[in-house]
A and B are shown apart, each in its own frame.
Chain A
Amino acid sequence: MSWLEKISGSKLLSAGARKRNVPEGLWTKCESCQSVLYRAELERTLEVCPKCGAHRTISARQRLDHFLDAEPRIELGNELGPTDPLKFRDSRKYTERIKEAQADTDERDALVVMRGQLNGLPLVVTAFEFSFMGGSMGSVVGEKFVRGVNAALEHGTPLVLFAASGGARMQESLFSLLQMAKTSAALAKLAERGLPFISVMTHPTMGGVSASLAMLGDINIAEPKALIGFAGPRVIEQTVRQKLPEGFQRAEFLLEHGHIDMIIDRREMREKLYRILSMMTHFAPTITAQN
């Protein structure tokens, strides 16, 4: 114990810690333009910086909550939780990492699936929770996504994906790798039935997730400046031993190279996806006569 702690007791320090916590909840700084932003405003702008337009990480629930109509909403596969088939342990046990991620995010794994409506158009939406172990895809993510596809098949609706993932979950090794094949195979069924699949790749969408479900959209969309690719920039730099070009693997780079159909600002996502989906599904809202 230092002399300061001795004379002041622990009260002073804990009061300081509390003090630091309070403003953090109210104000936050944009990593991109360094502007100090009001938290409540950021929630209204869906975590997009009102000053520079930087798209910050948004939770899967917040995403779905904004995207879907308030009613009806049915969550799918939330009874599914991860297991540790390989008794995997690196510097820490996989089971410990799971527990910590569950406590931090209040999710059981890294994908949330809901059936609902978008301006009355019925659909199934799947969203990755990036804060859960980097949105990595293991058995639960694969199975939940398939259940989302199956629900879309059963109800004859489109499927939308919001991807945000570092790739396959190493702690489940080959089980994870095979989720790439599993999710892709399910999407083949959706394609056979002529039901649209729209993939929205948000920052970041990499590795096994980008190289399977996320790149298989009938329409592939990205959020501004999202990092999207197969290999991570660090791995590529080590392999080719040269500096990567400016903007490499960013949404704008992908648009220029023809990998994606369009870039959509998160604040316009709802409106734009509705416009596209209503055309693809020949959806005509039932208009009730006003007088």
Chain B
Amino acid sequence: MNLNYLDFEQPVAELQQKIEELRHATAGSEVSLTEEIARLEQKSKELTEQVFSNLTPWQVAQMARHPHRPYALDYIKTIFTDWEELHGDRHYHDDPAIVCGVARLEGRACVVIGQQKGRDAKERVYRNFGMPKPEGYRKALRIMQLAEKFNLPIITLIDTPGAYPGIDAEQRNQSEAIARNLIELSNLRTPVLATVIGEGGSGGALAIGVADHVMMLQHSIYSVISPEGCASILFKDAGRASEAAEAMKITAKDLFGLKLIDEIVPEPLGGAHRDVPLMMSTLKQKLITNLERLRHVPMTQLLATRYDRLMSYGTYDTAPVAKSA
């Protein structure tokens, strides 16, 4: 099994391996297999298209958590220039699970806030697997207020399994840190543009996700609880995560259909990590277009629209029901 590929991608992996072997075998020899290789590559592409045209929500969740997927700092360093990271909540600590800073997008100054997972084992521990603590959310809030003060638009990149469920996090009031960001973001006087780039894990994601425009990468997920968590509580079996993923409607496509997000950012065939430069340029273009649009909306209108959107979330029945005797 090729570990670069997820289990449902294995047919593609096998084909790719065959192509590699052919290339290797013909290197330096007089026999040309160019045509055969081209034919197989076409077949591989078609197979990938076929696999990816019909991913289940659980497969999408695996894509969203793919260890090769670009993380916030990868996007920040490619899409933006003049990135200067700003550290610390000014009270307690600097949380490496959230990165904040100023940068330029096509020359225009802005603030970027992202959740950062680690690439290797050491960095994963350092970044706490992308699970922020209260000081991370308080750092984000400080930088958001800085953005408001200096008229800089805010771009957030969401990628977290959730806010950290730990003793220290509770001791420093994780709940309040998240709640504070929700209330402050709801009327922050600067445009906010949020993108889920991988995992949008519950309140920990929403705490940097209240925005004027919310986008999701095609193979990202956004949910109230992880599929595993939902499975273990409601299905009484964490192994039934795939069913929970299905039931909760966590994919970009489903959430766009429910009008809970505004836009889907398409990913390269096979996922963001298969063609990182293409992914970068697609997202960059979407950020520029949306920021340009939001920049021209008068502040009172921007805030009123943001508020109305927040108030529109929810579905309920308004028909009075006669109480049964």
Stretch at the interface among B16-24, B32-40, B284-292, B313-321: B313-321
Q: Contact between B166 and A239 (Cβ–Cβ < 8 Å)?
A: yes
Who on chain B is nearest to A150 by CB?
A: B311
B169 within 8 A of A: yes
Q: Mark B146-188, 1 if CB is under 8 A from A, else 0.
A: 0000000000000000011111011111111011101110110
- Separation of A229 and B317 alpha carbons in the complex (Å): 31
The A161-200 residues at the B interface (CB cut-off 8 A) are 168, 170-182, 184-189, 191-192
Which chain B residue lies CB-closest to A235? B165
Give chain A interface residues in 132-151, CB to chain B under 8 Å: 138-140, 142-143, 146
B249 touches A173 (CB 8 A): yes
Tell whether, in the assembled complex, residue B319 and residue A90 are in contact, meaning their CB atoms are under 8 Å apart. no
Asked if B202 and A177 sit within 8 Å, CB to CB, the answer is yes
The reply on B126 being an interface residue by CB < 8 A is no
Q: How far is the CA of A230 from the CA of B222 in the complex (A)?
A: 19
Asked if residues A79 and B318 are in contact (CB atoms below 8 Å), the reply is yes
**How many angstroms between the C-alpha atoms of A257 and B134 in the bound complex?**
14
Q: Given the known inter-chain contacts A230-B178, A231-B174, please indicate yes or no for A180 contacting B319, CB distance below 8 A.
A: no
**Chain A residues near B171 (CB, 8 Å)?**
257
| Distance, CA A210 to CA B163, complexed state (A) | 13
A85 within 8 A of B: yes
Known: A139-B316, A170-B230, A188-B186. A215 touches B175 (CB 8 A): yes
Q: Does A27 contact B (CB under 8 A)?
A: no
Is A80 within 8 A of B316, CB to CB?
yes
Q: If the complex has contacts A90-B247, A170-B248, A177-B224, are A229 and B183 also in contact, measured as CB distance less than 8 A? A: no
Q: Which residues of B contact A248 (CB under 8 A)?
A: 167, 170
One of B101-109, B110-118, B233-241, B293-301 at the interface = B233-241
- Binding site of A, secondary structure by majority: helix, strand, loop or mixed? helix
Number of B residues with CB within 8 Å of any CB on chain A: 58
Size range of the chain A interface in the assembly: 35 or more
Inter-chain contact B170/A181, CB cutoff 8 Å: no
Residue of B nearest to A242 (CB): B167
A207 at the interface (CB under 8 A from B): yes
Q: Which residues of B contact A249 (CB under 8 A)?
A: 170
* A82 close to B (CB within 8 Å): yes
User: A23 at the A/B interface (Cβ < 8 Å)?
Assistant: no
Is A89 interfacial (CB 8 A cutoff)?
A: yes
Task: Determine which residue in B184, B307, B317, B321 has the highest number of CB atoms from chain A within 10 A of its CB, and name it.
Answer: B317
Number of A-B contacts (CB under 8 A): 200
Residues of B within 8 A of A153 (CB): none
Is B215 close to A, CB under 8 A?
Answer: no
B269 on the interface (CB 8 Å rule)? no
Shortest C-beta distance, A30 to chain B (Å), equals 28
* Nearest CB in chain B: distance from A189 CB, A: 8
Task: Say if the beta carbon of A131 comes within 8 Å of chain B.
Answer: no
Provided the pairs A187-B183, A230-B170, A259-B173 are in contact, do residues A179 and B314 lie with their beta carbons within 8 angstroms?
yes
Q: Considering the chains assembled together, what is the distance between the CA atoms of A79 and B320 in angstroms? A: 5
Flag if A88 contacts B247 (CB, 8 Å): yes
- Tell me the complex Cα distance, A214–B180, Å: 11
Q: A90-B247, A230-B174 are in contact. Are A143 and B166 (CB under 8 A)?
A: no
Is B258 positioned at the interface, with any CB of A under 8 Å from its CB? yes
CA of A214 to CA of B319 in the docked complex: distance in angstroms? 29
Taking CB atoms, residues of chain B closer than 8 Å to A140 are 314, 316
A139, A174, A229 pick with most chain B CB within 10 angstroms: A174
Closest to B231 in A: A90
| Residues of the A chain whose Cβ atoms lie less than 8 Å from the Cβ of B175 | 210-211, 214-215, 228-230
Task: Give 5 pairs: A residue, B residue, CB < 8 Å, sorted on A.
Answer: A83-B317, A177-B206, A177-B224, A186-B311, A212-B203
